[in-house]
Amino acid sequence: MRRLRLLVPLILATPLARAEVVAASAAGFEVRDSAVVKAPPDRVYAGLLQIGRWWNPQHTWSGDAAHLSLDAKPGGCFCETLPDGGGVRHMTVSFVMPGKLLRLDGALGPLQGEGLAGSMTWSLAPADGGTTLTLDYKVGGYAARPLPEWAGAVDGVLAEQFQRLRRWIETGKPE
């Protein structure tokens, strides 16, 4: 709980790269990022599933991205192991089309403690020079803090993860 209290102000105050806040209202928000990754769709999809290799460890509960896993099957878990047998289910896989689409449901990070639902879709399409990769995350429900205030911070965190994935696929290094 202490880590959550420290994490929320950090996320809301940290200026990070932004992709796009598509919409934000009292009911919810949508953020999106899209770019061409210089690799074929099957390689981009395989890289996406190796989430512990590219996700920023500062945006984990354990402080170690190697504790993350993503089981790409309906009902599969985007999970994190914690010390002493603990763990976190960040999101649940709801739709899988290998090499084309991966959808997860859930509220990430500090959003998890609010009354929110989220849908995250990773779409992949062949493009000249590689794959058009698009990340779309929609969140709605109730939160103590107005939802439009969350949109920019969530967009920044996800834009960072998106760029880390892109760099990791293209160069082998997420930084």
| Domain residue ranges in the chain | 2-171
Half-sphere exposure of 165 (CA within 13 A, CB side): 28
Q: What CATH code would you report for 2-171?
A: 3.30.530.20
**Distance in angstroms (rounded) separating the CA atoms of residues 157 and 104:** 17
Task: Write out the DSSP string of 143-158.
Answer: -SS-HHHHHHHHHHHH
From first to last of its 175 residues, the chain has per-residue pLDDT tens of 444 444 444 444 443 445 799 999 999 999 999 999 999 999 999 999 999 999 999 999 999 999 999 999 999 999 999 999 999 999 999 999 999 999 999 999 999 999 999 999 999 999 999 999 999 999 999 999 999 999 999 999 999 999 999 999 999 999 9
